[in-house]
Amino acid sequence: MNRKFLALSCAVLAPLATSSLQAHDVIRVLLLDGPQKAHKYEETTPVLQQVLESADLFEVEHSRSSKESCENGSYQPDFSKHDVVVMNEGYAAPNWPTATQKAFEKFMAEGGGMVVIHAANNSWPEWKEYNKMTGLGGWAGRDEKSGPYLYHNDKGEVVRDKSKGRGGDHGPQHEYELVVREKEHPIMKGLPPTFMHGPDELYDKLRGPAENVTILASAFSKKMGKKGTGRHEPALMVINYGKGKVFHTVLGHHVEQIKEGSFVTTFLRGTEWVATGKVTIAVPEDFPNQKFK
């Protein structure tokens, strides 16, 4: 874990005030992954855990599913022991047992927190409640039946586009600018109005239920040379699900992208917020140029 990064990026942490956390001094995180296509979760999960543990605020437990444990019903993480579930899932993830899905829905509806990392929005297109939690998703057969596209137009207005078309796409990895859309939200407060990220994949054409979604930051998907949409696509979002909170980031394709300061700071602050409704983790003075090592 990286204590040097902590010194640069974290202020003295204020006492946690929410009743759900009064019984313990740390935020308990359950980090989940499992079989998937197109992303090397065996390499990214350890880095996500190191990033979380570097803040001295999170206690992390890791659980990995398998095709067998999902099919025979033995995959049953105890969500109730945790404050936040971080999803490092991906495309073609095996379907969780029905009982596990219902337990997770209960955890979230009663006030749990979830963080959706990059391709976790590809997972489980047929799981209705999970798609409500993520707000938007891509690939795996998603189309207009999944819900609208959601993006900003050039006037800064949020558009719910119900036109036909596939859900999910991206061009080649490149560096791109994020534009803060909700500067007073606790996750974004103190961040510069715009900041750079990458090179990384820039997801576009995401679509889904798009209920109770607040876009915190967007990125312009360039057509010229980047095979984009020419739209201001959502990059960081929060979603309300029952009493639960979700932070959804499309950043973080692989290890190098996860180590970017733009990812690390927003990930840590987003994870704290879904657990407590507050953010005490400071924005580094050199944000987003600091890099996790």
CATH code given to domain 3-276: 3.40.50.880
pLDDT tens figures, 238-264: 999 999 999 999 999 999 999 999 999
pLDDT tens figures, 2-20: 444 444 444 434 333 343 4
pLDDT of residue 13: 40
pLDDT of residue 293: 79
pLDDT of residue 24: 62
pLDDT of residue 10: 45
pLDDT of residue 212: 98
Domain ranges of the chain: 3-276
Beta bridge partners of 31: 62, 86
Q: Which residues of the chain have pLDDT under 70?
A: 1-24
pLDDT of residue 264: 98
